[in-house]
Amino acid sequence: MAVTLPLLLAGPMLRHCDSDNICLLFVASKPLSALTLTLAEVEYPLATDEVTQFKLGEHAYQYIIHLCKPELNPSEQLIEYGVSTPTDGDLFSGVKQLHYPQQQAPQFVVKPVIHKLLHGSCRNPHHYSGDSLVAADTLMATDNSATSRPALLMLSGDQVYLDDVAGPMLYAIGKTIELLGLRDEQFQQALLTDSKHISYQPASMYQRHKNILPRTEYPAATAISRWYINHPIFTSSIAENHLTSLAEVIAIYLLSWSPELWALMDIPKQVNGLSPANSARWQREWLHLLEFKAGLTQVRRLLAHLPTYMIFDDHDITDDWNLTAKWEQAAYGHPFSKRIIGNGLIGYTLFQGIGNQPDKFKADIVPQLSAFLASPTESQHDELIDTLLHFDQWHYHLNTSPKLMVLDTRTQRWRSESNLAKPSGLMDWEALMEMQQQLVGQDKVIIVSAAPIFGVKLIEAVQRTATWIGASLLVDAENWMAHPGTANTLLSIFLHRKTPEQFVILSGDVHYSFAYDIGIRFRSMSPNIYQITCSGIKNQFPEKLLPLFDKFNGWLYGHFSPLNWLTKRKRMSIRGRRPNGVNSQRLVNKSGIGLVTFADNGAPERISVLHADMSETEFKPPRQTR
């Protein structure tokens, strides 16, 4: 029996919005023409260069609208918007619960001055914790006036997990590929010749690390021996359902942000063909996904009302992405693993990257991507992946006050010169110098780094020990202090006399939350540096382990500990903020979305985490100020 697809499969999602720009993303089930964008009752018939169409499949067409005109949007005012065609009328009118009560259409507000923002990372659909984006929408629904709204939502990594996919989610991905007619592709040097042979039956779940994913000769010199021979390239400990094809990547993005497709499929709670352990795992994941999809209507509403910016971290592509130079040699030297990584990067470009700064992609990336998706060939597929792997403009900044700078910490690595198996620096010297140039002349700035710049020192010490014995991939030994060149260059930037007076760092990645107040020792006019980490939106650190790290980190690397003088950041004075004023705690292990309010001078006035159950944790300043 044929399934009738709704016109809108995903979206609308607000992306880059300021006084001169609006960028809007949505996915339709059929091709559209003669689109008109309405902003505050003013109609703008869209020209060809203002609408980008990507044919994702036979019944899936992605649209990215980018309208740029001087003084297009007034500041600090509610602006209603809509998109229509002569044949279909208002595309968004049939979407349930798309706007807030007392409204007739979705609205946005342009805020050139950032007084409040939401930020977070790590949204894993099948994790048992609640989805904090739902809580953010509930907060917006209580008061969505122009003055009270956050300026933007900053998603700082792991918006999707391509390497950690639940069995029921993989089943839904297979159904989505079938419903939308997403395309097949050929594979090279793989156990499967093409994606048509991928099975989405339960008996095939949790087996990809054995039956599909590539392995390679992978020697790594360590302090003990040479090991990692014939090691898997994709080293995630939960890679049993790691995505491989572009169709799978497209499907998981649609399933992560919109409820429409979920309503068209029935995922069984109990299945045959699994081991007893995996059968129990399936049922747990099924329950968590049921809770996840129940909140997607609210998630879509939030993303339709709040300008949203994104940057990748590892799980958006794969765990350990570019972690070491040795990993890069293995991954990009194998045609199948390179294709898997490239498909993840194509998905990121489509659903995340372009919307951040559309102009960066229009000249080269968009035409090549559009031509490939319109009529794909294997040679075009490989050429597109090569283009994206060499693209060096994933980072971006917003001309807000404070200036917001989003760093690319994944593709501009500073590779280890002493041992290719050691962790690479998160940014190389050239990228750090470019960042420093962006800081010149700024008195206040917000930096977005996927990984915390100033992390939990004890955990970094554990990662350093693991690196010494050759196990950097096993513990994700990536932090800003792991590579001497990156660490010293970065700290020199903070120590520079012209560093902005107010320096706020927003981070995620680690699956717990904390906040630090940081200064420079023995300097009377020290800049005020704040490290604010909120992770994850729907994820958490192992519950029994984090309290131990928190306690021992306080004992060993507390503010007055002499061990701090043995670290790279010995010139920095770091004070942990107290969650809800609790003296003995610095780390919060509960899924949530960060909410930061700023004073006029750019300093954080209030740092808090809004949890999925609508409770809130506020990080109180240290009792002793510098």
* Euclidean distance between CA atoms 53 and 65, whole angstroms: 9
In a domain? residue 246: no
- Specify whether 597 is located in the same domain as 559: yes
pLDDT of 230 > 80? The answer is: no
Look at residue 455 and tell me whether its pLDDT is greater than 50. yes
Q: Which two tokens stand for residue 13?
A: 């999602």
Bridge pairing between strands 528-533 and 502-507: parallel
Cα–Cα distance list, 284 to 113, 269, 277, 592 (Å): 44, 9, 11, 21
H or E segment and range at residue 373: helix 365-374
Digit-coded pLDDT (tens) for 127-170: 999 999 999 999 999 998 999 999 999 999 999 999 999 999 99
Residue 2 lies in a domain: no
Query: Is 489 found in the same domain as 587?
Result: yes
Band the pLDDT of 421: cuts 50, 70, 90.
Answer: confident
Q: Is residue 523 part of a domain?
A: yes
User: Token pair of 520, please?
Assistant: 């420079």
Q: Rounded to an integer, what distance in angstroms lies between the CA atom of residue 563 and that of residue 320? A: 29
Burial 5-34 (b: 16+ CB within 10 A, else e): bebbbbbbbbbbbbeebbbbbbbbbeebee
Spatial distance between the Cα atoms of 152 and 150, rounded to a whole number of angstroms: 5
Residue type, 36: T
3-class DSSP assignment, residue 172: helix
Cβ of 284: how many Cβ atoms within 10 Å?
14
Residue pLDDT, tens place only, 532-579: 999 999 999 888 887 786 675 665 666 666 665 556 567 778 888 999
Radius of gyration (C-alpha) of the chain in whole angstroms = 24
135 and 75 both lie in a single domain = no
pLDDT band at 625 (very low <50, low <70, confident <90, very high): very low
Token reading at 63: 């649209």
Question: Of 45, 79, 108, which one is at a domain's C-terminal end?
Answer: 108
Of the candidate ranges 215-224, 337-346, 427-436, the one whose mean pLDDT is the lowest? 215-224
Asked whether the beta carbons of 45 and 54 are under 8 A apart, the reply is: no
pLDDT for 228 equals: 47
Burial class (CB in 10 A: 0-12, 13-18, 19+), 146: middle
Q: Tell me, yes or no, whether 503 lies in a domain.
A: yes
Same-domain check for residues 46 and 150: no
Structural domain including 551 reads 116-156+395-620
Residues 135 and 17 both lie in one domain: no
508 plus 613 within the same structural domain: yes
| Residues 147, 92 within the same domain | no
For residue 533, how far is the Cα from the chain centroid? Answer: 14
Q: In terms of domains, do 506 and 538 share one? A: yes
Q: Which amino acid is at 104?
A: Q
For strand 116-120 and strand 153-155, is the pairing parallel, antiparallel, or unpaired?
Answer: parallel
List, for residues 18-29, the tens digit of each pLDDT value: 999 999 999 999
Average pLDDT rounded to a whole number, residues 30-36: 97
Q: What is the C-alpha to C-alpha distance for residues 92 and 35, in angstroms, rounded to an integer?
A: 13
Treating both helix axes as pointing N-terminal to C-terminal, what angle do 276-294 and 167-180 enclose, rounded to 10 degrees? Answer: 60
Q: Indicate the average pLDDT of the chain.
A: 89
Check whether residue 104 and residue 128 sit in a common domain.
no
Predicted pLDDT at 565: 56
Compute the distance between CA of residue 138 and CA of residue 297 in angstroms, rounded to an integer. Answer: 11
Which strands form 8-17's sheet, in the order they lie side by side? Answer: 8-17, 21-28, 60-68, 51-57
Query: Does 323 reside within a domain?
Result: no
Pair 534, 610 in one domain: yes
Does residue 469 carry a pLDDT above 60? no
How do residues 100-112 score in pLDDT, each as one tens digit? 988 999 999 999 9
Single residue among 51, 82, 108 that ends a domain in this structure: 108
Report the pLDDT value the prediction gives residue 223, as an integer from 0 to 100: 43
Position 572 in a domain? yes
Q: Checking DSSP bridges between strand 60-68 and strand 116-120, what pairing results, if any? A: unpaired
Is residue 302 in a domain?
Answer: no
What CATH number should be reported for the domain holding residue 513? Answer: 3.60.21
Task: Give the pLDDT score at 222.
Answer: 45
The predicted pLDDT at position 626 comes to 41
CA-to-CA separations, 224 to 327, 415, 464, 467, in angstroms, rounded: 19, 22, 15, 11
What is residue 219's predicted lDDT score, i.e. its pLDDT? Answer: 53
Angle ∠(466,468,470) on CA atoms, nearest 5: 70
User: Which residues on neighbouring strands pair with residue 423, listed in sequence order?
Assistant: 324
- Count how many Cα atoms sit within 13 Å of the Cα of residue 505 in the half-sphere of its side chain: 24
Q: Of the residues 75, 108, 141, which one is the last residue of a structural domain?
A: 108
Here the CATH number for the domain that contains residue 88 is 2.60.40
Are 101 and 123 contained in the same domain? no
Domain count, the chain: 2
Residues 16 and 152 both lie in one domain: no
The 10s digit of each residue's pLDDT in 396-409 is 999 999 999 999 99
Residue 459 main-chain phi, psi, to 5 deg: -65, -40
Place of tokens 């500990």: 561
Number of H helices, E strands in the chain: 16, 27
Residue 499 within any structural domain of the chain: yes
Task: Give the residue carrying structure tokens 């998109």.
Answer: 83
Q: Which residues have a Cβ under 8 Å from the Cβ of 225 and sit 6 or more positions away?
A: none
DSSP alpha helix (H) spans, 440-483: 457-468
